[in-house]
Every structure is written in C-alpha cells, then in structure tokens.
C-alpha cells in the first residue's frame, strides 16, 4: 500500500510547538491513482505575503493544511529549530494554544516568514 507523508506542526505536552511526520495510507482508488480517505474541510483561504514578510510567534487558531504554491516559507519554533517549505510542499498546522493557557511567546507557537526573491503564496485548507 502506498503512503503519503503528512508533516504535522503540533503542540507537545510541554506546550511547545514541534514537527512530526505521520504516514497516511493511500488505500483507495486504483494502482494508477491511489487515494487517501476523504477528509472533511470547512473552507480555504489563499494568502500572498510580500518579500520580507515575517510574523511574530503565534499559535494556529484552527487546525489546517498549509500548501506552498509559490515562493518559500520558513516555520521557526522555540529553541531555534526551523523548517523551510517550497512550492508543492505542505504541512498540517495544529499547534493550538493548550486549553486554559495564556499565550506566552517564550513558550508557545511558531513564527513564519517568506524566504528568497519571490513572494510567498499559500493555500490554507481548514479541517472541519
């Protein structure tokens, strides 16, 4: 059976954002066109970020897929860990603020920025 690797940005038990990779089985369809299960979504947004864009630390407000359509996006975590995503790459953003917590930019969330000479173009697909 084929698998799709989902990169997940999540909130760990210590409240800090981390990355992990999860296999998603592609068990439906035909050998020429293997498919995953159908996932529910509640809408999507497109975003254009100019050269030089950088956010401050923040948490994801709703779990969502992030697909890079153009340019490069760097996601930075506490402790200096970062990961760069380019056109055709993705991640599942689910680093929510832990229930009952007050946001602390020294502990929670991630930052994002545009890298390189091209604007960043992304597609956000919210999970239902």
Q: Where are the domains of the chain?
A: 2-28+40-127
Q: What is the largest CA-CA distance in the chain?
A: 48
Residues 56-72: pLDDT tens digits?
A: 999 999 999 999 999 99
Residues 78-123: pLDDT tens digits?
A: 999 999 999 999 999 999 999 999 999 999 999 999 999 999 999 9
110 closest CA partner among 67, 79, 87, 86: 79
Q: Domain 2-28+40-127 in CATH: superfamily? A: Jelly Rolls (2.60.120.10)
pTM score of the predicted model: 0.92
């Amino acid at each position: 059976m084929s698998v799709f690797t989902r990169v997940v940005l999540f909130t760990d038990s210590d409240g800090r954002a981390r990355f992990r990779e999860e296999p998603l089985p592609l068990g439906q369809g035909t050998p020429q066109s293997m498919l995953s299960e159908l996932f529910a979504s509640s809408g999507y947004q497109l975003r254009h970020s100019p050269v030089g864009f950088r956010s401050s630390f923040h948490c994801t407000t709703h779990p969502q897929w992030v697909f890079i359509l153009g340019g490069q996006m760097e996601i930075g975590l506490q402790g200096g860990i970062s990961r760069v995503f380019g056109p055709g790459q993705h991640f599942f953003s689910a680093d929510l603020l832990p229930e009952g917590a007050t946001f602390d930019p020294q502990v929670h969330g991630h930052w994002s920025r545009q890298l390189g000479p091209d604007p960043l173009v992304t597609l956000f697909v919210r999970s239902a």
